[in-house]
Structure 1
Amino acid sequence: MGGFLKRKAVILYRPGPRPEISRRKFVAVTLSFAAVGAGCGSNLLGGAGGGGQTPVPGTETPQGGLPPIVELPPAELSWVSDARVAGFETYSEDPDVDARLDVLAAAHVSVVVIDSDLSFYMTGARFEESVVYIEAVAKKCHQRGMKAVAYYPMLEALTRSARDRRRTMWKDHPDWVQRGIDGRPNKFVGGGRVFWVPRGTESAWLCPTSGYRDYFISRVKRLAQTSLDGLWGDVPLLSDIVGVWPCTNASCAAKFRAETGLAQPTRVDWNNPVFRRWVAWRHGVIHEFEQAVLAGARTVRPDFQLIVETGTVDYSNATVEGLDGASRDAGDVLRVWEVSAASDATGMREAPADDWISMAIMMRHGRGCAGKNPGWAICYGKETDDAERVMAICIAGGVRPYESQVPLLNNTVGDAWRGKMYGWLKDNNDIWAGESANAVAVVFSSASRDYVDRNAGVGLYTSINPADEDWSASTLSDSAKTLPYLGEYRGICKALIHAHAPYDVVTTPHLKPARLAPYPLVVAPRPAALSKGEIASLKSYVEAGGTLLVTGGTDAGVFDENGALRAKPALLEAFGIKAGANWVRTTYGRGAVVLVTQQVGQTYYQTTEAATTTQLVRILEAGGHTIVTDAPPAVVIDLRQRTEHRLDVLFANIHGLDTGGFKGQSASFKVAIPCGGKMPRRVTVTQPGDAAPAEIPFTHENGRAVFDVTVGALLLARIALT
């Protein structure tokens, strides 16, 4: 055994005009509420409480600010932390609602997303009817031991047969509709542009700074008066389906001037500091809207949750659409990440290896954005074998799964298979209680992505597939490998995965010395834009003894968080470092900085050049923090410390997907896990479908527990320590 230890081992919107846009959402159009959106003389706003209701006393939002959000103790978040989520489409007088809920309960679903008709612009009376029905379904969920949240688009409203109706959202409230930088209103009538908007149906995207904000919050308050446990808020983004770089309507222009003293830009110009400031400001507008919605709901129900579907993850759509879970600390707002599949038709079955790696990176990114909160992710599968690997990298990435069959959120790959996976999660749900025991943190900077990549391509995945019209990208310019910031960031993450060096993502809003302190190594890929506070945090981390690796150029900190250009790269200046030879270690305080001026991450993303993993492992070896294994590179590992006497190790296997076409296979290998100075006394393993955990033989060598495993898609090893 001694010799072994020597071996190392969407929403999819593209920039610019395009005729077709794909979204992984289904909104039924055969509604039982015939008068949805009709209105004819009735109050479409539904009164201050929504649906014509009188507000609950004391719940009115104060003018000129937000009510404080009521923070909940950790126990109140347990159902969110242990979530096993499924969608449930239902409408009034659904004859099968009880039987279908029984199926979900039998499959160990713990949270039901009730998808009814809240996507539609409706009268106050019709909204009230819908609320009453949704509450009835929520109560049925509770009777079966499941929580219930209601699906509600946050900034989109649909009206059926719009041309024949006197009242639509656009006709009633043109001042509420987003406008692009070109002045065009962000509304259209369906007819092939996107599949979730049927022919003849108006889609209007609303501005979060307009009067729509109070309208929406009032309706959320009404939902908070029900038995619902929370709201699933769908993609509150500045949509570029029609408008280019929204929103520039009057309320946004006034707010931007009031907060910055500047006039809104009138064209896209990345060399203009006002435009860069506006890009950063737009992220804040969406964040503020999310906070206001939760604050309003919490004035009614302190335990009400807001789970925001966030489809932009780490890539360039977040730049143009404003919605970005990494740009601000979300506070008590929770997120479910729509990690889109490579294809709406085949999911990930035809995806090459780097697309699978990209999905694994996005899953882990979701955990990093969450801060103290639990996060969820949509797991799109086509068949059970590819779906199991998607869910495996979701769980190993640290986010809770919402199982779905591509492209429809309310479908399943199979009830029996869902029951197998969710039953295993239910039996092992304490994996979510463990703190990360990973040795590396990777810093993600939304501002750096914005100002370096400049929305030049989507960056969702790496490949194109001309034979599949539902593929996520049609040109190589949309490949994440071509983007200098995203390519560098994802390339570093890919190299760490291949080196079997488990890592966590730390987004810049959480970049504090205490957050970084547990990590022997912090990597900052191409950190071109950093605030003074973020630079100070990195400096404090190094002074206290940490090792900071900066990659991707000599422009580290050349922008501040709002896009203002500095005279010199402030991060390098803070450490007194000049560009020189790559991978040179410079001592600073009790720690050190290693600078690599080349785009080594992007190079690794493109070529899998072994020198990068060799250098990363060399840095980690100095502190004895390496996992030693002969596992294939595409085995994702995550370490979680449940208690001081137990270490959980999760293995997600995406090996065998190197050439495209689904060829998933088991992986058998030996692994040596650092035990943090403690003695291993027992190792047990379990995989989905196992009747019970099995104890396996192990040895203790050089401070590591050494054992053999065979991983199908997902395996949990538990190491008992003394």
Structure 2
Amino acid sequence: MLLIAMAVRVHLGALDGATPQSNGSTIDSRHWTHFVRIGGYSLSLDRVDAIIKEATDSHVFGIETDNDVPGRYESFLEPAEKLRAIQEVAQKAHAVGNYAFVYVAGLECITAHADQQRHTLFKDHPDWVQRKLTGEPAVFGGGTAFWIAPGDEDVWISPYASEWRKTYMERVRQIAATGIDGIYVDIPYWMTHFEGWEKSWASFDDYTVAAFKKKTGLDARSDIKLGDYNDPGFIQWIDFRTETITDFMSEINKNAKAVNPRSVTIAEIYPGIEEGSPRVGADAYQLYPVLDVIAHEYEYGSGDHMAASRTPLDWFGYMTGMYSFRSFAAGKASWMLNYSWDGNKHVDRREAMKNLAMAELMAGANVWDARGHVMSGSNDVETRKVIFNWIAHHEKTFYPPRNPVRPIGIYFSPKTRDYFSTEFIESFRGMMYLLLQSHLEFQIVTPRHRQSFRGEELILPDVRCLSQPELDWLQGLLRNGKALLVTGETGKYDEKRQPRTENPLHKLLGITDPAREQTSAAPARFIYAPRCPGKAYYVEVEKHFNEYAVQGEYQAASFEKLRQRLSSEILRLSNSEAGVKIDASPFLSTQIAEVNGKIHVFMANFRGLKSNEVAQQAPERNIRIVFPAPQNAKLYVLPFLGEIQELTGEWSSGKITFTIPEVTKGMVVWCD
């Protein structure tokens, strides 16, 4: 997991003037971080020229280099040699119009050949190390993870170890001073992801326990009930751990920019929208405001997480995650460090690479090409060249801001996810599947940006935890004639997971029997569905969706009957006509958005795919699309890895209708 990254610049004039801003503000949409096509390289002084050449030859824009200073004990103490290499690669990247960023570990530090060393981090500073409640230290040896060599010592450090943190931030400033374009911080985690540590809720070292006591007055070792979500002390522990990681990353960003204002800070994290975020303490939703970019090593579902082994429904899960990240980012870039192929015998690695890149592009995320399950290399350099060159020519289609037109809102509640992970995610994901597979325009709405929502209908998918400001906002939506689809136990708890004696949302809507479904057209427009339809749809697609997707048929499927009924109810509740209408199978994922003043449809096809066997889609044929448009409007399509084509449609009464004969992997459609 240790590498340096570099970027190849394509529009120098526009990007030079765009200085990154963080801590809540949005990075300029012209900034280089929005346009990266990433390749990773191991960095040393003697490899700099080769890195630049390889990156340039394969159309890499955004070079990641692995030369970890603070994550290796030797260079944590003596960084000079590595700093020279970082400075050299930065200068030579800039000379060819590229950008480079360097990998550093967050809270992990490895001592090489520790079994032969008198001094290791743990031997020298045992008090710095994270610990279980039992006192067991987070110290590991070779083979615990693939990047830990035999004989090495792998240590996970408390962010409250003040002496370590002071030196760490000094190293950050030294790295930034080399002129490197970015500092890429991996694994800023509480140790809860190695075997035997998953439920530890670490860390209970002296530094962390003292910080928690100072903040809350509670002793983390004796005053909280680990794993008991009914215990207010445990809820405070969850929040404290997330706030700690967010503050740590914010401090890195501030230290880097203090010496190099143009440097960006990137976090690499694997947790996405699921329970892993509160467990490891690295929450993408909380981190985006204090950083410039997040690189998502996102894992959804089971298995090896390779594109080659994903089922059609897995792909929809990944699309849901990526669209959520794009909402959290609020104008900043989202980089995807996902993996395409790792020796899957029956799958063409080139097709797996193309499927991964296509899905990420359709979600508006940036593509990182890597070999196997590491950050560097490529499974096929020639295929990388084709993909990256095509992205470079069409980046202005994929990476400008995507703005809602007439969206159906779906609410993502970080607090509900933190305290009711399974219940909320099944409901949220089920609703997202429904919207994506019904080709309805959606907007993921979050507490931070809820005031920007302008749609006619908002879905609350079992949002159990609502604060008073959120309730006030919902009341304002109803007052302004908007509609709510309220499901499950929405509103039952406050933002600290404390149960309310009376559900204030039920009171607002006039719901007197929480067990009974209810629909109202006036004075407030809402549907109340205590048996959550999102969960119901999630359960149905989990049963048979993949089998039907392989066959390409779906009309007789139980999930299809449910999809048609639920999507019809959602459309009726919205009380307004969809801006764009799409008639296609549920195996096609779609996003409708305004880009550069024009309505676009981004389509990803997963029909015919089969895990570890088939990576070439069955074409989606005869897709009918209706756009609102003037009579002289022109229609364009851009197939994935193809060229822009103009189509002819039929215009009538302010709308233009046309049929796309075939979509293989993916396509973008727009009306001009």
Aligned twin of 2:621: 668
Aligned twin of 2:473: 537
Which SS does the other structure have where 1:379 is aligned? coil
Aligned twin of 1:234: 186
Deviation at 1:161, TM superposition (A): 1.5
Deviation at 1:606, TM superposition (A): 2.0
Aligned twin of 2:439: 500
Correspondence 1:416-427 to 2 at 5 A: 416-427=382-393
C-alpha contact 1:378 1:401 (8 A) present in aligned 2: yes
Which SS does the other structure have where 1:529 is aligned? coil
Deviation at 1:187, TM superposition (A): 1.6
Deviates further, 654-663 or 317-326: 654-663
The CA distance in 1 between the partners of 2:77 and 2:262, in whole Å, is 27
Which SS does the other structure have where 1:326 is aligned? helix
Counterpart of 1:559, as a letter, is Y
Tell me: CA distance 1:128–1:76, structure 2 relative to 1, closer, same or farther (3 Å): farther
Tell me: CA distance 1:72–1:359, structure 2 relative to 1, closer, same or farther (3 Å): closer
Matched, 1:437 2:372: no
Counterpart of 1:131, as a letter, is L
Aligned twin of 2:418: 450
Aligned twin of 2:172: 220
Deviation at 1:82, TM superposition (A): 1.5
Deviation at 1:615, TM superposition (A): 2.5
The CA distance in 1 between the partners of 2:519 and 2:29, in whole Å, is 48
Point out where structure 2 has 5 or more consecutive residues left out of the alignment.
5-20, 342-348, 542-558
Aligned twin of 1:112: 63
Aligned twin of 2:283: 324
Counterpart of 1:81, as a letter, is H
Aligned twin of 1:650: 602
Deviates further, 431-440 or 163-172: 431-440
Tell me: CA distance 1:532–1:539, structure 2 relative to 1, closer, same or farther (3 Å): same
Tell me: CA distance 1:258–1:593, structure 2 relative to 1, closer, same or farther (3 Å): farther
Which SS does the other structure have where 1:386 is aligned? helix
Aligned twin of 1:288: 247
**Which one of the candidate residues 489, 496, 503 is aligned to 1:569?**
503
C-alpha contact 1:327 1:447 (8 A) present in aligned 2: no
Which SS does the other structure have where 1:435 is aligned? coil
Aligned twin of 1:410: 376
Deviation at 1:255, TM superposition (A): 2.1
C-alpha contact 1:147 1:229 (8 A) present in aligned 2: yes
Aligned twin of 1:559: 493
Deviations 1:482-530 (A, max 9, x none): x3221111111111111011323233333x32x212x222222110112
Aligned-pair Cα RMSD in Å: 2.6
The CA distance in 2 between the partners of 1:230 and 1:197, in whole Å, is 25
Tell me: CA distance 1:76–1:683, structure 2 relative to 1, closer, same or farther (3 Å): closer
Which SS does the other structure have where 1:362 is aligned? helix
**Which one of the candidate residues 149, 164, 169 is aligned to 2:116?**
164
Which SS does the other structure have where 1:380 is aligned? coil
The CA distance in 1 between the partners of 2:135 and 2:229, in whole Å, is 19
Correspondence 1:51-90 to 2 at 5 A: 74-75=27-28, 78-90=31-43
Aligned twin of 1:34: none
C-alpha contact 1:585 1:593 (8 A) present in aligned 2: yes
Deviation at 1:607, TM superposition (A): 1.0
The CA distance in 1 between the partners of 2:475 and 2:25, in whole Å, is 33
C-alpha contact 1:556 1:570 (8 A) present in aligned 2: no
Which SS does the other structure have where 1:209 is aligned? coil
Matched, 1:593 2:544: no
Deviations 1:294-352 (A, max 9, x none): 11111112221111112100112112111111246624442111123767768232332
Tell me: CA distance 1:549–1:146, structure 2 relative to 1, closer, same or farther (3 Å): same
Matched, 1:388 2:354: yes
C-alpha contact 1:394 1:401 (8 A) present in aligned 2: yes
Aligned twin of 2:204: 248
C-alpha contact 1:434 1:640 (8 A) present in aligned 2: no
The CA distance in 2 between the partners of 1:660 and 1:702, in whole Å, is 48
Aligned twin of 2:669: 717
Matched, 1:351 2:310: yes
TM-score, normalization: structure 1?
Answer: 0.80
Correspondence 1:621-640 to 2 at 5 A: 622-625=575-578, 627-640=580-593
Tell me: CA distance 1:445–1:336, structure 2 relative to 1, closer, same or farther (3 Å): same
Deviation at 1:177, TM superposition (A): 1.5
Deviations 1:62-82 (A, max 9, x none): xxxxxx968888548610112
The CA distance in 1 between the partners of 2:383 and 2:266, in whole Å, is 26
Deviation at 1:581, TM superposition (A): 4.2
Which SS does the other structure have where 2:185 is aligned? strand
Tell me: CA distance 1:371–1:331, structure 2 relative to 1, closer, same or farther (3 Å): farther
C-alpha contact 2:460 2:490 (8 A) present in aligned 1: no
Counterpart of 2:484, as a letter, is L
The CA distance in 2 between the partners of 1:628 and 1:137, in whole Å, is 49
The CA distance in 1 between the partners of 2:594 and 2:302, in whole Å, is 36
Deviations 1:14-34 (A, max 9, x none): xxxxxxxxxxx3689xxxxxx
Counterpart of 1:516, as a letter, is F
Which SS does the other structure have where 2:448 is aligned? helix
Deviations 1:180-226 (A, max 9, x none): 23332212122x32111112111111112221332222111111111
Aligned twin of 1:681: 633
C-alpha contact 1:340 1:380 (8 A) present in aligned 2: no
Tell me: CA distance 1:328–1:141, structure 2 relative to 1, closer, same or farther (3 Å): closer
Deviates further, 170-179 or 490-499: 170-179
Tell me: CA distance 1:405–1:713, structure 2 relative to 1, closer, same or farther (3 Å): farther
**Which one of the candidate residues 102, 112, 134 is aligned to 2:86?**
134
The CA distance in 1 between the partners of 2:355 and 2:626, in whole Å, is 23
The CA distance in 1 between the partners of 2:353 and 2:600, in whole Å, is 23
Deviation at 1:611, TM superposition (A): 2.5
Deviation at 1:92, TM superposition (A): 3.6
Matched, 1:516 2:484: no
Aligned twin of 1:57: none
Aligned twin of 1:615: 566
Deviations 1:511-562 (A, max 9, x none): x32x212x222222110112222222233233223222222x2x32222223
C-alpha contact 1:672 1:704 (8 A) present in aligned 2: no
The CA distance in 1 between the partners of 2:26 and 2:440, in whole Å, is 33
Which SS does the other structure have where 1:433 is aligned? coil
Q: Which has the higher helix share?
A: 2
C-alpha contact 2:209 2:219 (8 A) present in aligned 1: yes
Tell me: CA distance 1:583–1:365, structure 2 relative to 1, closer, same or farther (3 Å): farther
Deviation at 1:113, TM superposition (A): 0.8
Point out where structure 1 has 5 or more consecutive residues left out of the alignment.
1-24, 29-67, 454-482
Deviations 1:666-697 (A, max 9, x none): 2222232443x65561112222433x411111
Aligned twin of 2:96: 144
The CA distance in 2 between the partners of 1:575 and 1:277, in whole Å, is 31
C-alpha contact 1:376 1:399 (8 A) present in aligned 2: yes
TM-score, normalization: structure 2?
Answer: 0.85
The CA distance in 2 between the partners of 1:354 and 1:688, in whole Å, is 21
C-alpha contact 1:448 1:528 (8 A) present in aligned 2: yes
**Which one of the candidate residues 133, 149, 153 is aligned to 1:181?**
133
C-alpha contact 1:349 1:386 (8 A) present in aligned 2: yes
Tell me: CA distance 1:446–1:210, structure 2 relative to 1, closer, same or farther (3 Å): same
Number of matched pairs: 615
Tell me: CA distance 1:628–1:571, structure 2 relative to 1, closer, same or farther (3 Å): same
Question: Greater RCO between the two (CA within 8 Å, min separation 6)?
Answer: 1
C-alpha contact 1:162 1:189 (8 A) present in aligned 2: no
Matched, 1:606 2:539: yes
Counterpart of 1:523, as a letter, is I
Counterpart of 1:205, as a letter, is W
Deviations 1:621-659 (A, max 9, x none): 531116433322121112232333x22221111111367
Tell me: CA distance 1:116–1:635, structure 2 relative to 1, closer, same or farther (3 Å): same
The CA distance in 2 between the partners of 1:533 and 1:82, in whole Å, is 36
Matched, 1:584 2:519: yes
C-alpha contact 2:27 2:292 (8 A) present in aligned 1: no
Tell me: CA distance 1:322–1:144, structure 2 relative to 1, closer, same or farther (3 Å): same
The CA distance in 2 between the partners of 1:112 and 1:489, in whole Å, is 35
The CA distance in 2 between the partners of 1:195 and 1:702, in whole Å, is 61
